[in-house]
Chains A and B, each alone.
Chain A
Amino acid sequence: NAGVTQTPKFQVLKTGQSMTLQCAQDMNHEYMSWYRQDPGMGLRLIHYSVGAGITDQGEVPNGYNVSRSTTEDFPLRLLSAAPSQTSVYFCASRDRGQGYQETQYFGPGTRLLVL
């Protein structure tokens, strides 16, 4: 198993440009999430999905769109990049599990710089 994979590893954008951060998992996990990691802020949840065709907003959803057409893939779209979106983005997945037993698996991250 490759686990959770993310592409690209690093990206530089100009303000106003759009891009899609890719995330895929091969563990057949139902739950997938996108977080951003900023200094002194820890990880903050952007969007999440509880299964194909179902997505919902997290703590900081503005400026980001997601879709979940398959169990494996959960892309994150920036429609018009802003400097405030400079961050490290992590995708995570987990199985439905049994209540509190769920453990998240994280991808290696995408480092995004918006100029």
Chain B
Amino acid sequence: GNSVTQMEGPVTLSEEAFLTINCTYTATGYPSLFWYVQYPGEGLQLLLKATKADDKGSNKGFEATYRKETTSFHLEKGSVQVSDSAVYFCALSLLRNTGNQFYFGTGTSLTVIP
């Protein structure tokens, strides 16, 4: 089946530390990959996406590269800020007859402390 597995949280980092949140996927077909971010009390917002192998998505200092050979889409940021504290969801989408079907990971909570 289709699924997304991301690293267990919560993750606590000091400001300016390096961030990696691992994400691997299983999919039948050729998925697009996404990272969504959920700030406290809000809905999910798209952070970045990649639509084919070797593509790199980037936004707000975050990056993730679509690795087909390892079926991974790890999220990285070189220097986190307190404002990056949120829950991060990895997701994939596959094209179906009725449109794209989305599958979400369980989310990883990140807390950045000053």
Q: Interface residues, chain A, CB within 8 Å of chain B?
A: 4, 31, 33, 35, 40-45, 48, 50, 56, 90, 92, 94, 96, 99-104, 106-109
Contact = CB atoms under 8 A, between A and B. Distances in A.
Given A42-B104, A42-B107, A43-B104, A100 B99 contact: no
Interface residues of B, number: 25
A41 B89 CA distance: 11
Interface in B1-46: 4, 30, 32, 34, 36, 41-46
Given A50-B98, A102-B99, A102-B100, A42 B89 contact: yes
State the majority secondary structure of interface residues on A: strand
A97 B46 CA distance: 16
Classify the interface of chain B: helix, strand, loop or mixed: strand
Interface in B40-89: 41-46, 49, 51-52, 89
Contacts of A4: 43
A36 to B, nearest CB: 11
Nearest to B6: A42
B106 A99 contact: no
6 contacts: A40-B106, A42-B105, A43-B44, A100-B52, A103-B34, A104-B44
